[in-house]
Structure 1
Amino acid sequence: MPQGDYRAAVVDGGLALSAGVTPRVGGRLTVTGLVGGDVAPAVAFDAAGLAARNAVAAIVAALDGNVGRLRRLLRMTVYVACADGFTDLSAVADGATAGLRGAAPAAGLPVRSAIGVRSLPSGAPVEVELTAAVRP
């Protein structure tokens, strides 16, 4: 569920885009803090996987629950809230990739960016945005 005044995902034509999605279960963050500070990279890896699975779920919900309409994952951006000096962003983003493999194996892997930031909404250590090609 969105944590503000926006949609979790939209579909337009042959594209579906998720909002920035954090590692939440039942609307609650599973972990908060800065990666490389108070959040270990292994914990962030798992959090990124959860956020990616949540992004897929948001897109599937926007497709009225029809996962068969999900044709191809195109692009994923993984934002990592990290402590000064933390540079292992790709290792954290690999958790998001692992989450996609589990949530939508038939949709393939997207291109990916991993971006280090100072903070994310509600203190989340990771946030994932996903773009997918969809069938009509």
Structure 2
Amino acid sequence: MNPIEQRLADLGITLPAPAAPIAAYVPAVEANGLLHISGQLPFRADGSLITGKLGIDHDVEQGRQAAERCGVMLIAQIRAALGGDLSRVARVVKLGAFVACSPEFTDQPKVANGASELMVAAFGDIGRHARSAVGVPALPLGAPVEVDAIVAVRPA
């Protein structure tokens, strides 16, 4: 087991099968040493989707947990795109977090921390990244959070 998979196991995280796209796109594209991962939704360990909005149906902590679940799916997509070899990850470059929320909700960065903190816990220092966190009125399938990523990768 490589160190990243061991860290995930130590955190009690089992990577799910990567989610299939719900529209006309691919889950990941590798170009010029960068792996671009499409936005991932917060699926629970049992495969069900978390739904609702921050500031209406969920508080900040529930949103943080949803963002962490997006992060778990991001890592599952990274592993699949890299042929199962997470050791090819050279750096998590950037995360983009989208938070479905009420107009008054302003804690998007705290929600996005769920995914950000997971990347550091899983990848160590190479998991530290740039990030955006924005509020939006709605997300696909009624999800409260969606997170995408750009990851620098080593050649196969």
* Both proteins in one fold, TM over 0.5: yes
1:4-83 counterparts in 2 under 5 A?
4-25=23-44, 27-29=47-49, 31-83=50-102
1:103-114 counterparts in 2 under 5 A?
103-105=122-124, 107-114=126-133
The structure 1 residue matched to 2:116, chosen from 91, 97, 100, is 97
**Secondary structure in structure 2 of the residue aligned to 1:65:** coil
Cα deviation digits, residues 9-58 of structure 1 (max 9, x gap): 121230101001011146531x2111011111111100101101211221
What 5-or-longer segments of structure 1 have no aligned partner? none
Residues 127, 28 of structure 1: alpha-carbon distance in 2 compared, 3 angstrom cutoff: same
Find the aligned partners of 1:8 and 1:105 in 2 and give their Cα distance: 24
Instruction: Using structure 2 for the length normalisation, give the TM-score.
Output: 0.81
**Secondary structure in structure 2 of the residue aligned to 1:44:** helix
**Secondary structure in structure 2 of the residue aligned to 1:104:** helix
**Secondary structure in structure 2 of the residue aligned to 1:105:** helix
Structure number with the higher strand fraction is 1
- Higher RCO (C-alpha 8 Å, min separation 6): 1
Shift of 1:84: 1.8
Shift of 1:107: 2.5
Cα deviation digits, residues 95-136 of structure 1 (max 9, x gap): 111221233225221101001000000000000010010000
Amino acid at match of 1:49: E
Amino acid at match of 2:95: M
Alignment partner, residue 13 of structure 2:
none
Find the aligned partners of 2:25 and 2:75 in 1 and give their Cα distance: 17
What 5-or-longer segments of structure 2 have no aligned partner? 1-18
Structure 1 runs (4+) greater than 3 angstroms displaced: none
Find the aligned partners of 1:135 and 1:19 in 2 and give their Cα distance: 19
**Secondary structure in structure 1 of the residue aligned to 2:80:** helix
Aligned pairs, how many? 135
